[in-house]
Chain A
Amino acid sequence: MAIEWYIVLSAMLFAIGFIGVLVRRNPVVILLCLELMLSAGALSMLAFSRMLGDQDGQVMVLIVLVVAACEVVVGLGLVVAMFRRRLPLDVDEMKELKG
């Protein structure tokens, strides 16, 4: 299969994820969309790795997965904290850091 399909799939996944981040207000969903974007990046790296025939891309993907796991931990921690304080689960309401 040609590389283009992988790239197109990766780009579509990334776009879907990004649009999700932009339009949804629930932090849990935003985190899901972020995961989607990371996976899109990982997919394109895997594809390039296969095309070039070396292992660097695969290694990068492993790193990305670890980073993604960490990010989810932090993100879900924030969500739990918000829930405990009975704050609305809406990122637009969380803007106390306004300058």
Chain B
Amino acid sequence: MSAATWGWLVLLFPLLGSIFLGLTFRVLPQRIAGLVGIGAIVAAFICGIAALISLQGEPHDSRHVASSLWEYASVGGFTIDLGVYVDPLSVFMVLVVTGVSSLIHIYSYSYMKSDAGYTRFFSYLNFFVFSMLLLVLAGNYVLLIVGWAFVGFASYALISFWYSRETATKAGMKAFVINVVGDIGLVLAAILIFRELGVIDYGAVFEAAPEAFSTNQWEVVAICLLLLVGAFAKSAQMPFHTWLADAMEGPTPVSALIHAATMVTAGVYLIARSHSLFELAPTAADIAAFVGLGTLLIAGTIAIVVTDLKRIIAFSTMSQIGYMFVAVGIGAYSAGMFHMMTHAFFKALLFMAAGSIISAMANMQDIDKMKGFRKAMPFTAAMLIIGALALSGFPGTSGWFSKDEIIDFASFRGGMYEWMAIGMMIGAFMTAIYSFRIIFRILPGKPCEEAQHLIDTGHVVHGEPVNPKTLEPEDTDVGYPGEHHHIAEQATGMKIGMSVLGFLALVGGLVQIPGVTEVVTHFLEPTFEDSAFVGLHPTVEQAWIGLGKGGLISLAGIATAWFLYIKRPDIPGKLMNTFRPLHTLFVNKWYGDELVDFLVVKPFKGFGSFSNRYFERYVIDGLTAGTTGFVRSAGVAVRDLQTGLLRGYAVLMLFGIVAMVLYFLIRSI
């Protein structure tokens, strides 16, 4: 079978799984629903591997297959095909998405055990994966938008999964609305592409673009900026980042899915996919890189100060996605995709480990209350350490290879990119500090109450179900936290998910050792062969020097974290008091929410109430009142003719007839 056929099968399985689970949620036993959900994604993963094999069988120059099932729409002589585009980039994305999603599904199989909405959860999860696969496999911009919007909906459904929790439904709405803003940008970009080039299929667009546009022509810059609006919103880059932290309201596997495999990487994929356009608009590419840089620095500062375990990891995602944006913005496409892959491994791992600890804490997420989990949950602790090592770029781990490849490329390009590289190094230092802040705060020391309970009795503390954010009691009808707790790290599914990801997070970087194995770069080469940067990369020596620097920064960051949180735990408090305004700024997430509230929400609300007060009252009401008033006064005017006197009517009729007869008589003369 050709690669395109496998591509279609990749799409088919999650869709079937989602529909099947959605239809049978009443009759299917929980265990089977979970297995069906896992099976659908694993089948998609296997088809992805088959697509990879069949694609590698093609000669180097023709490693891209477009296939169309039927016309998706046909308007005014312009047809949009329901088509997929299978090339190394999309296969790479498919493998990462389905691979990591399979593990997250296996983890959820155990994690969501006590949830009343178990089948619904798996149906949503499958739909989420399907949407993401549609996004990466789409063969034209229109189908990309379809997948893009599906992802937005799926994220809404999953973030608001516990729909009786008000904060969760609000967070879901927020994510959805911000994503729709991005969708608008994307739709406008597609319209502009069609207007300028007359085509919408990837292959045709990238072929026509270099002839139609000169470098930095305003049309192509506008297209790229609009694409960036979509990418920023989906990937939670500034100024559209505020939804990501709130998305933590969803179940932990959902956080893992959003952050690792699906959703937030879509923006990176979009830029990499449209690199032919972005290279014609270097200004837009630079904007992408600078926004990425700004986001990674700001998210780093927030992650150092917030105390909610899941939110720390969420801000670290924002920051790592920032690295990927810098990478694809400066032309290091394969490095960006490579970082996306390693990030998927260690970020999913971190979320899984965090979920395990949170369920042991009876749903408390505050790291100030966690202590001594090294003894209570040794397996989870080990996984958390592996994840943190990879995130902070400890030498030898996957994050070390991928992050430093991006930094190397930036300093290799020189000029202002050199400064960007320095900014990213500062970001890497902060990354190491906040990753090990988690480790040093919650693993060592005297076990806290919940951890001690786990050590003593072998059972997880049973806490009253409360909303971790508002501490209000929760309605358990929609499931989790449910009546029965289980020890997260002893559940088979969770153990499998975590250990495979732990292994990948440790050794996943070995596929891309500079000068030895450069699998990702070589594999993605056919996609990026038209890029101006494809032949440009640092020499092996430069790369190793960069890796050395990266390793030193990571070690320095870890050492700083150790000094701050183990050796002298009094210092963070003192620092906090000294830099009180700065701390307030960071803890409040640089007032991003408030800024959006002030700039967008408030004006819109004001406009709404203005319209209600004036437009509605005077214009709309005036129009309707005017109409009724006219009819009523016309009635008053003619009412007196209606005397009810029969003989009077007869007289009037006589006059009427006489008048008519006279009229015709006069006319005939």
Decide if B640 is an interface residue (CB 8 Å cutoff).
Answer: yes
Q: Which of B198-228 contact A (CB under 8 A)?
A: none
Q: Judge if A91 is at the interface, Cβ distance under 8 Å.
A: yes
Contact indicator B639/A95 (Cβ below 8 Å) = no
Whether A22 is near chain B, meaning CB under 8 Å from some CB there, is: yes
A97 pairs with B651, CB closer than 8 A:
no
A22 cross-chain contacts in B, Cβ below 8 A: 647, 650-651, 654
* A54 part of interface (Cβ distance < 8 Å): no
Q: A21 — which chain B residues lie within 8 A by C-beta? A: 647, 650
Q: Which of A56-99 contact B (CB under 8 A)?
A: 91-92, 94-99
B643 near A95 with CB under 8 A, answer yes
Residues of chain A lying within 8 A (CB to CB) of residue B642: 97-99
Residues from chain A with a CB closer than 8 A to the CB of B639 are 99
B654 A18 Cβ-Cβ under 8 A: yes
CA distance A22 to B645 in the complex (A): 11
Interface members, chain A 10-30 (any B CB < 8 Å)? 18, 21-23, 25, 30
Contact across chains for B647 and A99 when beta carbons are under 8 A apart: no
Given contacts A99-B639, A99-B640, contact A92 B645 (CB under 8 A): yes
A96 cross-chain contacts in B, Cβ below 8 A: 644
Give every chain A residue within 8 A of B641 (Cβ-Cβ). 99
Q: Please determine whether A98 and B647 come into contact, CB atoms closer than 8 angstroms.
A: no
For B638, the chain A residues whose CB sits under 8 A away are 99
Residue of A nearest to B641 (CB): A99
Residues of chain A with a CB closer than 8 A to B471's CB: none
Q: CB-CB < 8 A to A23: which residues of B?
A: 647
Which residue of A has the minimal Cβ distance to B639? A99
Verify if B669 is at the interface (C-beta below 8 Å from A). no
A92–B642 CA distance with the chains assembled, in angstroms: 14
Q: Taking CB as reference atom, which chain A residue is nearest B635?
A: A99
Instruction: Check A98 against B650 for contact (C-beta < 8 Å).
Output: no
Contact across chains for B654 and A98 when beta carbons are under 8 A apart: no
Q: Nearest chain-B residue to A98 (Cβ)? A: B644
Shortest Cβ distance from residue B470 to the other chain A in the assembled complex, whole angstroms? 65
A interface footprint on B630-657 (CB within 8 Å = 1, 0 otherwise): 0000000011111111110011001000
- Pair B647/A91 contact, Cβ less than 8 Å: yes
Bound state CA distance, A91 and B644, in angstroms? Answer: 10
Nearest-neighbor residue (CB-CB) of B651 within chain A: A22
A96 to B646, CA, bound (A): 11
**Cα(A21)–Cα(B650), bound, Å:** 8
User: Complex formed: what's the CA distance from A95 to B639 in Å?
Assistant: 14
Q: How far is the CB of A18 from chain B (nearest CB, A)?
A: 7
Docked-complex contact A94 and B646, CB < 8 angstroms = yes
Would you call A91 and B646 a contact (CB within 8 A)? yes
Alpha-carbon separation in the docked complex, A25 to B639 (Å): 24
Q: Name B409-427 residues within 8 Å CB distance of A.
A: none
Of the listed residues B638, B642, B643, B644, the one surrounded by the most CB atoms of chain A closer than 10 A to its CB is: B644
- Collect the chain B residues with CB atoms within 8 Å of residue A97's CB: 642, 644
Is B647 within 8 A of A92, CB to CB?
Answer: yes
- Please, which residues of chain B bring their CB within 8 A of the CB of A91? 646-647
List the B side residues contacting A92 at CB < 8 Å.
Answer: 645-647
Instruction: Name the residue of chain B whose CB is nearest to the CB of A34.
Output: B650
Q: How far is the CA of A96 from the CA of B644 in the complex (A)?
A: 6
Identify the closest chain A residue to B643 (Cβ): A98
Closest-CB distance, A25 to chain B (whole angstroms): 8
Whether the Cβ atoms of B654 and A95 lie closer than 8 Å is: no
Q: Which of B592-641 contact A (CB under 8 A)?
A: 638-641
A95 lies within 8 A of B644 (CB): yes
CA distance A97 to B645 in the complex (A): 9
User: A residues within 8 A CB of B651?
Assistant: 22
Closest Cβ of chain B: how far from A89's Cβ, in Å?
Answer: 13
A-chain residues with CB within 8 Å of residue B650 when the two chains form the complex: 18, 21-22
Of residues A18, A92, A99, which shows the largest number of chain B Cβ atoms within 10 Å of its Cβ? A99
Measured in the bound complex, the distance between the Cα atoms of B369 and A32 in whole Å is 106
Instruction: Give complex CA distance A63, B159 in Å.
Output: 79
Return the chain B residue nearest A23 by Cβ: B647
Cβ of A18: which chain B residues have Cβ within 8 Å of it?
A: 650, 654
Cα distance A18–B647 in the bound complex, in angstroms: 10
Residues of B within 8 A of A95 (CB): 643-646
In the complex, chain A residues whose CB is within 8 Å of the CB of B644 = 94-99
Within 8 A of A (CB), among B533-575: none
Measured in the bound complex, the distance between the Cα atoms of B654 and A30 in whole Å is: 15
For B646, give the chain A residue with the smallest CB separation. A91
Shortest C-beta distance, A87 to chain B (Å), equals 14
Closest to B645 in A: A95
Q: How far is the CA of A51 from the CA of B643 in the complex (A)?
A: 43
Question: Please, how many angstroms separate the alpha-carbon atoms of A92 and B643 in the complex?
Answer: 10
Bound state CA distance, A11 and B295, in angstroms?
Answer: 101
B646 contacts which chain A residues (CB < 8 A)?
A: 30, 91-92, 94-95
CB contacts (< 8 Å) of B647 on chain A: these are 21-23, 25, 91-92
Q: How far is the CA of A25 from the CA of B646 in the complex (A)?
A: 9
* Nearest chain A CB to B373 CB, angstrom units: 88
State the Cβ distance, A79 to closest chain B Cβ, in Å. Answer: 13
- Give min CB distance, A45 to chain B, whole Å: 17
Nearest CB to that of A92 among chain B residues?
B645
> Complex Cα distance A94/B642, Å?
13
Bound-state CA distance A97–B648 (Å) is: 13
Contacts of A94 in B (CB 8 A): 644, 646
**Bound: A22/B650 CA distance, A:** 7
Q: In the bound complex, what is the Cα–Cα distance between A95 and B647 (angstroms)? A: 11
B643 CB contacts on chain A under 8 angstroms:
95, 98-99
What's the Cα separation between A94 and B646 when bound, in Å? 8
Q: Chain B residues near A99 (CB, 8 Å)? A: 638-644
Residues of B within 8 A of A98 (CB): 642-644
Given contacts A23-B647, A94-B646, A99-B643, 11 further A-B contacts (CB under 8 A): A21-B647, A25-B647, A30-B646, A92-B647, A94-B644, A95-B645, A96-B644, A97-B642, A97-B644, A98-B642, A99-B639
The chain B residues found within 8 Å of chain A, CB to CB, are 638-647, 650-651, 654
Would you list 27 pairs from A and B whose C-beta atoms are within 8 A, ordered by A residue? A18-B650, A21-B647, A22-B647, A22-B650, A22-B651, A22-B654, A23-B647, A25-B647, A30-B646, A91-B646, A92-B645, A92-B646, A92-B647, A94-B644, A94-B646, A95-B643, A95-B644, A95-B646, A97-B642, A97-B644, A98-B642, A98-B643, A98-B644, A99-B638, A99-B639, A99-B641, A99-B642
Q: Which 8 pairs across A and B sit closest by C-beta, in order of nearness?
A: A95-B644, A99-B642, A98-B644, A99-B639, A91-B646, A97-B644, A21-B650, A22-B647
